[in-house]
Amino acid sequence: MNFLKKIFNAELKEHIIAFKDDFHYSFMIWWKYFKDTWPLYTILIVIFMGAVYFAEPAPPKEINFASGVKGGSYEKLVLKYKEYLAQYDVKVNIIPTSGPLTNLELISGDAKTLAKFLPLVQPKNQRVDVALTQAGLATQVKNLDQILYLGSIDYEPIIFMVRRNLVQDITSNEIKSFIQLNVATGELGTGTQAQIARLMALDDAGSINSNIRAMTDEQAVNALLADEIDGMVLVDGVESNNMQKATLSDQIEILNFPRAQAYRRRLPYLQVLTIPIGSLHLSKNIPSKDLEILSTTTALIARVDTHPAIQYLLARASTDIAGKASFFADSRQFPKFFDPNIPHSEIAREYYLKGSPYLQRFLPFWLAEIIDRLVFIILPFSALAYPILLALPNYRKKRLTRKIWANYERLKQLETEITDHFDQNKIDEYLQRLDNIEVEAVNVKISGSLGGDYFKHRQHIQFVRSLIHRMAM
């Protein structure tokens, strides 16, 4: 047993020594190589740092998402996005706002709106990155070039409702006759009022005036049910609490829009939807006939400098969240681009057309994103680094060769002087000059591949030295 132990210890010691010597030898070779070629390595490092600097940074781990009024349909949608993006380690901070018009102003960078809502934003990211708005409102704000449209994700029906005993007062000029009543059209500055103002302008019905009441949707529904107002406009989904509460009342009726297609031709972002007979309540047969109504869409928007990976995730989330069938939409009808006024996200458009990028289909999001960014670093770096790497061996060889040949010039001058103009009185001077040349030769640090040139040079020095001694005799 002791014998085997001694053999084992001896072999282990031998392996360790061999490994140490091999490592030291390899390290010294590479260290000498680096010392000879460090200028080219410095250029490579500068190129690499430049590629990293100009490459796309890593996607943020946290974004601020403007929703809308608390408890509204926008907030419910944003909660779905928050849950979806959490799967990819992206935290979503929900920023409550007064509605879609405010959201557009926040994304476009409106100073007054930002000053009002920035205190709600997390300190780490003093900006609003993503928001929901209504298609068609973009012309209400400045700096449209600061906004990206990632597509519409749902319909937002524009529902006109009046008390049933006043339906006969609505003429074929629906909008104009509607606003003659005591009606509510949302709070001041909201998307609802902006949409109504456009429809009124088409009907030559004037502008929003004191005749129209400014209320929240919930206040308007309660006032309509209490007979305090004659009608209201609600821009919301048919499944919303306010919509259900209003339409299930026997005293309230949804207006039909026979000229809906005419409005759509004038405002292309609008859509014409049909509420089928009995679809809101079968037993009560609400509505009692098919109704044509106007609708805008819920648009997902982001800042123009939103990271491409975040745009991709939002597009992917929109497909999974909004791609399901709903009351008005068929399966896979959304997301879709409806609003021509906002610059479209090419990343979102490409995803809707082609699906996930190749790497995202097989790798986790974070890994595919790292590889994608590395490709954009490595490709330009490789294109510039390849000729430099090819030049490294020749660069080193030429650099060392130049040192040897610099000595050769001095040696040749000395040989020529001795051969043509030998002076006995200068023998000590000749030898001193030759010694200096030899010292320079000895100090040239060469690699193994140049050993032949080095020793030939030393031989030639000795040749000149022997020449001096022969001439002196």
Question: What is the predicted pLDDT for the residue at 346?
Answer: 92
- Asked if residue 96 lies in contact with residue 120, where contact means CB atoms within 8 angstroms, the answer is yes
Helix (H) or strand (E) holding 148: strand 147-163
Count CB atoms within 10 A of the CB of residue 320.
10
> Mean pLDDT lowest for which of 27-36, 340-349, 463-472?
27-36
Asked whether residue 326 falls in the same domain as residue 412, the answer is: no
Question: What is the predicted pLDDT for the residue at 224?
Answer: 92
Asked whether residue 179 falls in the same domain as residue 307, the answer is: yes
Q: What is the mean pLDDT of residues 63-87?
A: 88
What tokens appear for 19 in the block? 């490994």
Domain-embedded: residue 8? no
Question: What is the predicted pLDDT for the residue at 14?
Answer: 67
Confidence of residue 198 (pLDDT cuts 50, 70, 90): confident
Q: Is the pLDDT of residue 300 over 90?
A: yes
Confidence of residue 91 (pLDDT cuts 50, 70, 90): very high
Question: What is the predicted pLDDT for the residue at 172?
Answer: 75
Asked whether residue 285 falls in the same domain as residue 163, the answer is: yes
What tokens appear for 4 in the block? 């085997």
Of the three residues 355, 389, 407, the one that is the final residue of a domain is: 355
Q: What is the pLDDT of residues 132-154, one digit of tens each?
A: 999 888 887 888 889 999 999 99
Q: What is the pLDDT of residues 1-25, one digit of tens each?
A: 565 555 556 666 666 766 676 666 5
Domain-embedded: residue 87? no
Asked whether residue 328 falls in the same domain as residue 398, the answer is: no
Domain-embedded: residue 270? yes
Confidence of residue 376 (pLDDT cuts 50, 70, 90): low
Domain-embedded: residue 145? yes
If one counts the domains in the chain, the total is 2
The more confident residue out of 169 and 264 is 264
Q: What is the pLDDT of residues 395-436, one digit of tens each?
A: 556 666 666 666 677 777 777 877 777 778 777 787 788 778
| CA pair distance 264, 268, nearest whole angstrom | 5
Asked whether residue 338 falls in the same domain as residue 397, the answer is: no
DSSP 418-467: HHHS--GGGHHHHHHHHHHHHHHHHH----GGGHHHHHHHHHHHHHHHHH
Distance of CA 83 to the CA centre of its chain: 19
- For residue 388, what are the domain limits? 15-53+374-472
What tokens appear for 258 in the block? 């026979």
Tell me which residue of 325, 274, 326, 280 sits closest to 295, measured CA to CA: 274
The more confident residue out of 233 and 248 is 233
pTM to 2 decimals?
0.66
- Asked if residue 371 lies in contact with residue 420, where contact means CB atoms within 8 angstroms, the answer is no
